[in-house]
Each structure stands twice: as C-alpha cells, then as structure tokens.
Amino acid sequence: MDVFRIEGPVRLSGRVAVNGSKNAALPIMAAAILAEGRSSLAGVPRLSDVRVFGDLLQTLGCRVERDADGRLEIDATVIDNPVGDYEIVRKMRASVCILGPLLARYGRAEVSMPGGCAIGDRPINLHVRGLQELGATIHLKNGYVIAEAPDGLRGASIFLGGSFGSTVLGTANIMMAATLAKGRTVIESAACEPEISDLANCLNEMGARISGIGSPRLAIEGVPRLHPVRYEVIPDRIEAGTFMVAAAITRGELKLVNCRLDDMMAVVDKLRSVGVAVEPDESGCTVAGAEHIRPTDVTTQPYPGFPTDLQAQLMALLALAEGNSVVIEKIFPDRFMHVAELNRMAADLRKEGPAVIVAGVKNLVAAPVMASDLRASAALVLAGMAAEGTTIINRVYHIDRGYERIEERLNPLGAKIYREDTPAP
C-alpha cells in the first residue's frame, strides 16, 4: 500500500495548471447514459474515482475508453444491465447518480444502497423522493434500491431541500431523470454548485431544455430523446482551492492557470481575510502566502458559501494562524477525521459538536498520520509541507481518488513528497 513521505518545511513557487473537476466529471459521465451513441468528454481527470465510475458504466453495457488525446469516450449505444453493483457502489458513493439516467433511459434501475462513509451518514432519501415524484415506484430489496417506471417518467414540481440544505447529487439525479420525462419539471431548492450548472449545460448540449441554471429553481421541459455530446468539463475549484492553501501554508507564491475565480468567491474572500494575497489574471490567479496568518471564523455552506470540500485544508492553514479560529461544518457535521491527525502534528484543535476551535500554533511538527478521506488527506499533505521533519501519510489511496498524482504536481513547485510502497501488514 502506498504511503507518502513528505520532507518539510518547504516554500512553493511556480505555475500549476488546475485539472478538470472530478465532481463535475462524474455526473456528466452518468449523463452519457441518457443518449444512444458515443459521447466524448475533455478535461476528465485521471483519478481512481473516474476509473471506478468508468468500470461501473461498463458493467451497465457502455464502452468506456480514453482516446489518443486523452478525451474520455463513452459509447452508451447498449445499456443491457441496469444494475449498480454493491462491489462498485461501496467504493464510491457518487455511483448513486446513475439511478436517474438509467430510470429515464431504461425504465428500470437497481443500485446498491450506498452506506455511510468517513465523512458521516450519507442518506439518499431526497434522491428517492424526487424520483418518486417523477412517477417512479421505488423499493428496497437485499440492500438495493429498485426503481421502476415502465411507462416513463412525468414532469412534476419537486422541493429538494433537506435538513442540511440542497443536495448536489440529488439535484443531478432528478435533473437528469427529468430531461426525458413527459412535460415540465420544476426543482425548487436545487443545488447551485458550479458542477450542477456544468451538468445542466452539458445536458442542454445533448438536446435537453433546462432553464434557471445556477439558480435554486431549475425548470426542465422534457424531450423525447437526447443525443451524444462533445463536451469539456470545468476546472476543479476544490483542487484550485487546495493549491491556494498550499501556497499560503508554505508562505510561497503560486500562479494557478485554468482556474475560474468566479466559482470560488467565498474561498478567495476567506483567504484574503487571513492575509493571503489572491490576484486575478486572464487565465486564473496568483496566490501569495503571508508571513503572518490571521485567525478567522468559517462556516461551510452550500454554494456560493464556503465549500465543505475545502474545510479540512483551510483548517490546516488556520492551525498556524496567530490566534484562535472557529470552523463550523454545516454540511457534514461529522467531517472532522483530520482533527486528531493534525493534532498528532502538534496542531491545537478541539472539536465541539459540529465545530472545531483552532488555537493557532507557531509550528507544526512532522509525524506519521493516517489519511481517512479525500479532503482530510489533502489537509495532511498541506500540513506535511509546512511541518518541520518527515511526515509519513498512510493510506494515500484516499488522496488518489481526487487529486491526480499530487506529488508530481507539487514537487516541481518545491515540495518534497515521495510515494513509497510499503508491504501490507
């Protein structure tokens, strides 16, 4: 099993290109199911989650391959096994977003019920309710959600808000299903994340009729069929934010290209408020760390608020601030697996329910730590680059789910991150 050995502290400088967005690419790959024929996607990152999702599409009957230019080609001419198998779904919760497109195209879908994961309980009640309102019958059998609509789906008005706000993949599922429903669907309290807008834009290129894109009220006029698409997914705002924190925590300076600052206003605002300089330019921005980081309070929220997917990384930075910060997690209240690991590196973090009090320390100190989920692992890499000594991060397969060979991206900028293979215990 791979581990990272990270030598620190380092100061990063240079230019880095942000990859295409994982969380936009996965639902867009699912959208390819909706149209017979071959879709071609650019900007799909080479991540283990993308490979697993490709495997899932192949089990349904699709053909999935990279072409010579690195585009992802998905041929969905044949869908003959509308089943999301437990062995794949348990590896990746995003698999649930095949439910809507399968139901719309095939009239039936069986998808293993996703379990909880390291960031907490992750129910799918809103996905189920939305599909039921579109006319599907749904029941649970042997751990599988079985959804049926033999006579097709019909448009409906659906309120998709839950106790923790809107649902990203729930909105993706219902929006995809509604594209082929008879009549008009309105989704109220739809997720406004840029990844949902990207999916909606892609669906419109496929012939769907979606309006209100980017707002909490999406209107979808059903059409009889969609056609395959050539599309390029947006840059990954979470990867961009991780690189921004990397510049800040190492007191370095990075130029980010292929970065859409307009999707990241809450992040940019928060970084500026603690003293980090973010200067926009034509292709992205330049981010420069400060010698002194100011403390702050931050609450994660649905877009356009501060994203939960950058909470752990920002916490690593705030661990080095000159004073006390408070981090409140409003999307996944248990998403704090990084807290104990950062404390092993001499951070001073105290968890209080869905909040963490961060008492800034002068230095972080290297230690062996355990990656638990994707973003928590990113926080540990960031902390490792700032800490004095040799940090060992175990279970780096978590980070490979969402960051493509992160050591090969950061080392040319001055990081010293070495991937080493250790025999399984």
Residues that bind ligand EPZ (CB under 6 A): 23, 26, 94, 122-127, 162-164, 167-170, 308-309, 331-332, 374-375, 402
309 annotated ligand binder? yes
Q: Which is nearer to ligand EPZ, 191 or 387 (CB)?
A: 191
Q: How far is the CB of 171 from ligand EPZ (least distance, A)?
A: 8
Q: Is 269 annotated as a binding residue?
A: no
Nearer to ligand EPZ, 10 or 126 (CB): 126
- The answer to whether 173 is a known ligand-binding residue is no
Amino acid at residue number 82: P
Contact yes or no for 156/126 (Cβ under 8 A): no
Helix extents (H) in 250-351? 265-273, 311-318, 337-344
Closer of 23 and 185 to ligand EPZ (Cβ): 23
Cα distances from 358 to residues 192, 297, 315, 349, 384, in angstroms, run 30, 10, 8, 5, 18
CA distance 418 to 3: 8
Which residue type does 52 have? V
255 vs 401 by CB, closer to ligand EPZ: 401
Specify the residue, 129 or 184, whose C-beta has the smaller distance to ligand EPZ.
129
CA 415 to CA 9: how far, in whole Å? 9
Confirm or deny that 93 is annotated as ligand binding.
yes
Smallest gap from residue 281 Cβ to ligand EPZ (A): 27
* From 62, 97, 117, 259, active-site residue: 117
**Quick check: is 202 catalytic?**
no
Measured CA to CA, the distance from residue 203 to residue 24 in angstroms comes to 12
Rounded to the nearest whole angstrom, what is the least distance from the CB of residue 53 to ligand EPZ in the complex? 9
- Bridge partners of 82, per DSSP, are none
Cβ of residue 251: shortest distance to ligand EPZ, in angstroms?
26
**Token pair 């994961």 is at which residue?**
117
Q: Tell me which amino acid residue 35 is.
A: A
To ligand EPZ, the closest distance from the beta carbon of 22 in angstroms equals 6
Contact 5, 196 (CB under 8 A): no
Rounded distance between C-alpha atoms, residue 228 and residue 74, angstroms: 9
- The residues carrying an active-site annotation are 117
| Residue numbers belonging to the annotated binding site for phosphoenolpyruvate | 22-23
As annotated, the binding site includes 22-23, 93, 309, 331
Give binding residues for UDP-N-acetyl-alpha-D-glucosamine as ranges: 93, 309, 331
